[in-house]
Structures are given as C-alpha cells and as structure tokens.
C-alpha cells in the first residue's frame, strides 16, 4: 500500500473495475482474478493489482479478489456511498437527454434539476426533473443542495455559467462544451468533448495507428 496521489488514469480504471464487479455481484460470482478484471476492462492483470494495491490488500493469494467486498471498497474509494445531487445546465437536446437517466441514478448520481434560459422550455418537467429558469440558478442550487453540475449549453455562455456555478457552491462540473472553463480552486472539472474524440478517431484512422497499416 502506498499514499502517493492517485492518477486520473487509475481512477478511470477503478470505475471500470467497479462496473464489472457490480455485474459479477449481480450474477452471484464470489471471486474474480486480476486477469479477468483486466481482460474485461481492457487493461493488464499487473495494472489491476498495482491500481488496487495503492489502497490496500483486498485479494487472497492463490484465489483472487472477493467480488462484493472489492465492489464495496471501490464504492467507498470513489466516494459513492452517498447519492450525489446533480443539476443539468442547458435543457437543449443534449441536456434534456440526460434528464431522468435511470442508469445515472443507479450509479449514485441523481439529477434533481435542470436550468434553461429559453422561457419556452422553462416551467415544465422532463421525466420528473423540473426545468427551472437560469436566473434562479444560485438560489435553487443552494436550496436543493446541488453538488455537481453538468454543463450542456452552447460554448458562448459556458465560461460565465461555470463561474456562477462555482460561486453558487457547486464542487464539480462535467463540461460538455468545447470551451475551457476555469471555475477556480475547489471546483473539480472533467471534460467530455465529442469533437475532440471524433478528431482523435480521425487522426488514428488517417495515420493507420490501430490498423497496423503502413505509415504516412
């Protein structure tokens, strides 16, 4: 066991292990090996053991890892023993697609509100989630105890909204825009940018990197 700072890549892999462990647990499987975890999540057995060993010793030599115990350990490590309260900013196509998303709730993230600037969209409720006017963002975030925001607006207002979210007390932002936001210290940010990923695919395809094809 080790107390270095845990890397992003490690945390990302832990999510993958957790997802598979939940599945195994539902299937009633008692034990799993680092090899199986690795194969199923796209990494190596050594990497799995290394990742887990940064937090403690959870396996049994010769046998493997107990499924439910390891699942619970990962749930604790990732901070998922509690339900997080999430809002979606922007109730356009993408934003409203995320409302009432069952799987998110099951995995610990409950979307409790959406915010929208267009008065035509404000007021109704999408799959049980109220769509509120963005002017009331600060008040509602406070009243509803929102901790994490999903930013699904056009690029233009993204930066300013990130500031407002930070000031309103949100501690994490998942940024779906292509704009770099800077909500300041104390607010964690993750980016999901479709264009970046598609451009990455484009690069890989044209260079033939994954195809084993000849170079340029």
- From the list 37, 67, 73, 86, which residue makes contact with its own copies (rule: CB under 8 A)? 86
Determine the interface stretch with its own copies among 24-32, 58-66, 107-115, 156-164 (rule: CB under 8 A): 107-115
| Strands 172-175 and 109-116, bridge-based pairing | unpaired
Closer to DNA by Cβ: residue 35 or 107: 35
* Binding partner at 17 among its own copies, DNA, none, C-beta below 5 to 8 Å by kind: none
H helical segments located in 42-128: 45-53, 67-77, 93-97, 102-106
Cα–Cα distance measured from residue 112 to residue 131, given in angstroms and rounded to the nearest whole number: 10
Which x/- pattern over 186-205 shows residues binding its own copies (rule: CB under 8 A)?
xxxxx-xxxxxxxxxxxxxx
Task: Tell me which residues touch DNA (CB under 7 A).
Answer: 1, 4-5, 7, 9-10, 33-35, 43-47, 49-50, 52-53, 57-65
- Residue 212, phi then psi, degrees to nearest 5: 65, 15
**Does residue 7 belong to the site contacting its own copies (CB under 8 A)?**
no
Identify the three-state secondary structure at position 88. strand
* Binding partner at 109 among its own copies, DNA, none, C-beta below 5 to 8 Å by kind: its own copies
Closest separation between CB of residue 61 and its own copies, Å? Answer: 27
Closest separation between CB of residue 79 and DNA, Å? Answer: 19
**Does residue 138 belong to the site contacting its own copies (CB under 8 A)?**
no
**Does residue 144 belong to the site contacting its own copies (CB under 8 A)?**
no
**Does residue 105 belong to the site contacting its own copies (CB under 8 A)?**
no
- Residue 100, phi then psi, degrees to nearest 5: 65, 25
**Does residue 156 belong to the site contacting its own copies (CB under 8 A)?**
no
Cα–Cα distance measured from residue 124 to residue 194, given in angstroms and rounded to the nearest whole number: 28
Closest separation between CB of residue 32 and its own copies, Å? Answer: 15
Give the full edge-to-edge strand order of the sheet including 172-175: 125-126, 129-133, 109-116, 84-89, 148-151, 172-175, 188-191
On whether the CB atoms of residues 107 and 82 are closer than 8 A, the answer is no
Instruction: Show the tokens assigned to 141.
Output: 């975030």
CA distances from 92 to 49, 59, 151, 152, 195 (A): 42, 46, 11, 8, 18
Residues that bind its own copies (CB under 8 A): 5-6, 8, 11-12, 14-16, 18-19, 40-42, 77-80, 84, 86, 93-94, 96-98, 101, 103-104, 107-109, 147-148, 171-174, 178, 180, 185-190, 192-207, 209-213
């Amino acid at each position: 066991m080790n107390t270095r700072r845990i890397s992003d890549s490690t945390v990302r892999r832990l999510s993958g292990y957790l997802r598979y462990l939940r599945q195994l647990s539902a299937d009633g499987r008692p034990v799993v090996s680092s090899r199986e975890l690795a194969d199923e999540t796209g990494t190596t057995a050594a990497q799995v053991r290394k990742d887990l060993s940064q937090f403690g010793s959870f396996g049994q030599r010769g046998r493997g890892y107990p499924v439910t115990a390891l699942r619970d350990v990962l749930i604790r490590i990732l901070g998922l023993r509690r339900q997080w309260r999430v809002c979606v900013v922007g109730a356009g196509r993408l934003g409203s697609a995320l409302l009432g998303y069952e799987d998110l709730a099951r995995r610990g993230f409950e979307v409790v509100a959406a915010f929208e600037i267009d008065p035509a969209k404000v007021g109704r409720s999408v799959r049980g989630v109220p769509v509120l006017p963005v002017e009331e963002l600060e008040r509602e975030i406070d009243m509803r105890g929102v901790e994490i925001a999903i930013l699904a607006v056009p690029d233009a207002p993204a930066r300013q909204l990130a500031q407002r979210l930070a000031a309103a007390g949100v501690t994490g932002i998942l940024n779906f825009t292509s704009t770099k936001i800077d909500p300041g210290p104390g607010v964690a940010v993750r980016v999901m940018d479709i264009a970046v990923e598609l451009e990455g695919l484009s690069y890989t395809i044209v260079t033939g990197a994954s195809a084993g094809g000849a170079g340029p």
